[in-house]
Each structure stands twice: as C-alpha cells, then as structure tokens.
Amino acid sequence: MKIVFFDIDGTLLDHEKSLPASAKKAIKTLQENGVFVAISTGRAPFMFKALREELDIDTFVSFNGQYVVFENNVIYQNPLFPEEVEKLKNHAGKQDTAFVFMNEQTMKSTVQNNDRVKEAMGTLKFPHPEQDADFYKDKEIYQSLLFCSEEEEHRYIGHYDKFRFIRWHELCLDVLPAGGSKAEGIKILMDKIGFKLDDVYAFGDGLNDIEMLQAVGHGVAMGNALEEVKKHADFVTKDVDDDGILYGLKHLKLI
C-alpha cells in the first residue's frame, strides 16, 4: 500500500493558483491504481476544501502538521498555547505588526485593511480576514500569521521557545508550535495507518517542505522549488507549469 503527499502552492497549484489539467488527470490515475493520495500543506483546511473535493481527497496534513485527517477523520491536533499566542499578539501590536489567527474553519486578523495582509493573502487568492483581536481566547488556534519583513523578523525569532517561525512570503511568517512540521504530521499518519517508509512519497517546493522530503521514503522537489529545497530531494521533477506532477509520478513508476 503506497501513499503520496502533495504540497499545494507551487506543487499542485501552478503560479497562477490553478490546478493543471495534467496534475488532475495524474492524481485520478494514481487513485485508480490503488495509491492513497494526500495533501500536506501549511494552509488551513478551509482554505483548500474546494481542491479536496475536486480531487476526491479525504486525507491531509494541514497547518504544517498541526491538524491531521485520515479519510475524513481527525487523528491529530496540536494547537498553539493560548498564553503564548496572547504574548506574541501583544508584542506584534506594539511593533505595529499585523497578526492573524487561524483554526480549521476560518481566520481572523488583529487589524483591518492592512496593506501587508492584503498583499500576502492576495497571493493565495484570499481576501483580508475580518478583524477580531480576541478570536484566540475561546478557540483552538493551530497556526498564526505574522506579517513582518525579513529585516524585522529578528524582533520575534529567537524570543519565543514555544513557537517555530517559517517564512512563506516576503512579508509573512507562519507561526506554529515548536517542533511542529509537515514531517511530524506525516509520521503520525504513517504510524496510525501503518505505512512503510519505502511506500511513502512526497512532492514539495518550499522551505516548509524540506523536512517532509527528508522524512518520507521518496522526496520529490518541483522544478520551481527553491534551490535549498532541491538539495534535500531524492529527485527533482519539472516545473509545476511544465506538467511536473505528471512527470514526477511517471519517473517514480506510480502511474
């Protein structure tokens, strides 16, 4: 029994955030061949519900490993510590840094009409979240977004031992629990379901995919992946815009 994990942005979705026809067809063929197909992403579940439905995928690792679902059943949840979220939110506020809370159903912002939030979320085809600075107080928050540049990140990185910060946009960092990663989420799923390491494959392109590519039996970097990511892959396929998913799956003899 084999399983393939796919990152979303820059992997399943092209640079215009569209699903290439070749990728959709390849995934259908995978499923017809009896291979489990799963998503592994930094996104929240609500952010890729339509994609899951289009591809008939019911297994996923979301929030960079903090919320894991197998065949529509939640098997792992690892929320952020509320008191630490509050501390970081207050710190960000004093620095005029926008902050967004995310759970499995929605996201809320500490501010409204912020240019950095608009720009970063716009690259994901999402609007600026509604403002609710107290959203975290009675919700489980699995990931937060901190809208700071690389020049400003020193204000936060190294000051919070309960958090891990991963940059996904020039103006934004993912905030997740220390030790959290896509790799940890995948390991939990592998242990729960009983997949053997050599039967586990993963495709990715970003910095948050490095540990995932290292953790599985066969790690594939997209042709458009960052050079640092490619160093940790067993194979580099073609660009997402050049049928990279299809090419990679054929190379692996999975289709």
- Reported for 186-191, long-range contacts at CB under 8 A and 24+ positions apart, including other chains, are 186/5, 186/40, 186/61, 186/65, 186/212, 186/215, 186/216, 187/215, 188/65, 188/68, 188/75, 188/76, 189/38, 189/59, 189/61, 189/68, 189/70, 189/75, 189/76
- Residues 72-109 pLDDT 10s: 999 999 999 999 999 999 999 999 999 999 999 999 99
Active site residues: 7
User: Which domains, and CATH codes, for the chain?
Assistant: 3-77+180-251 (3.40.50.1000), 82-177 (3.30.1240.10)
**CB contact at 8 A, 175 and 194:** no
How does residue 193 score in pLDDT terms, banded at 50, 70 and 90? Answer: confident
Q: Say whether pTM exceeds 0.85.
A: yes
- Residues 210-249 pLDDT 10s: 999 999 999 999 999 999 999 999 999 999 999 999 999 9
